[in-house]
Amino acid sequence: MIDRYGPWAVVAGGSEGVGAAFAHRLADAGLNLVLIARRPGPLAETADAVRAKGVEVRTLELDLVSPDALAKVREVTDGLDVGLLVFNAGANSYRHEFVTGDLDGFQGVIDLNITAQLALTHHFGAPMKERGRGGILLVGSLAGYMGQARISVYSAVKAFGRIFAEGLWLEMREHGVDVLELVLGVTRTPAMERAGLDMDIPGLLVADPDDVAREGLDHLPDGPVWVAGGNYATARKRAGFPRAELVADAHALMQRMLPGPS
């Protein structure tokens, strides 16, 4: 892995959950790491843990929607030979019915999941193409296969991410750069737990962060899209027709998971 994707990897959203799992697996493979995250406590904890494995680690406490985000990233990465970008920072930061919601809140979801992702991919992808090797792993979501109430914008940006990854894969595959969107279903992460989601519904597939990180790295050469956690059948169903029935059924399941009124 280090010959193909090293010697440095950048993990955006690399402090806990799936991001921390990526950091540990990459450190085990001998890659040095730049970890970017908003939460200083988990960021420092993960950095210390992977640094103890013998790799060099740089950290950047940063909100990727800030206007100077790319400049801040460049301050800690310029001069490094970055062979792998893992963009795991695309959370849903605002949940609300669209027409009564705050447009600034929705814009934040767009800025994180689209604008920041594009900026980092553009910045690190160009040198990878020039060198003729590297990898870009964009973490997506099953939410991007279907519109959902109160997360309509989040679902839409995740759909964007998948289509973007497919096009980028076509552009980069002839230049030795692997591109993959890793589609996650329900994953038992601290963020999901803080959101109060009920992940113990009988029959619900709930993935472990380390398992999905392993799948993502194992299948990075198998782009443009890999559906993790045993959710391939669900993704295929959500992409089908008739849409009204499928969307209504998925909404009913989501209502069982979400806390409080919908």
Give the 3-state secondary structure of 205-253. Answer: CCECHHHHHHHHHHCHHHCCEEECCCCHHHHHHHCCCCHHHHHHHHHHH
Q: Is the pLDDT of residue 132 over 50?
A: yes
Q: Is the pLDDT of residue 255 over 50?
A: yes
Coil, helix or strand at residue 86: strand
| Confidence (pLDDT) at 114 | 97
| CATH level 3 topology of 2-257 | Rossmann fold (3.40.50)
pLDDT, averaged across the chain: 94
User: Which residues are catalytically annotated?
Assistant: 154
pTM comes to 0.93
pLDDT digits (tens, 9 = 90+) for 88-117: 998 899 999 999 999 999 999 999 999 999
| Confidence (pLDDT) at 260 | 59
Per-residue confidence band for 254, with pLDDT thresholds at 50, 70 and 90:
confident
| Confidence (pLDDT) at 262 | 40
| Confidence (pLDDT) at 90 | 83
| Confidence (pLDDT) at 256 | 83
pLDDT digits (tens, 9 = 90+) for 173-223: 999 999 999 999 989 877 766 666 676 778 778 899 999 999 999 999 999
Q: What is the mean pLDDT of residues 121-138?
A: 98
Q: Dmax of the chain from CA atoms?
A: 53
Beta bridge partners of 177: 134
Q: Is the pLDDT of residue 261 over 50?
A: no
Q: Is the pLDDT of residue 229 over 70?
A: yes
Nearest by Cα to 14 from 62, 76, 81: 62
Indicate the domain borders of the chain: 2-257
| Confidence (pLDDT) at 195 | 64
**Range with lowest mean pLDDT among 6-15, 43-52, 186-195:** 186-195
d(CA 132, CA 130): 5
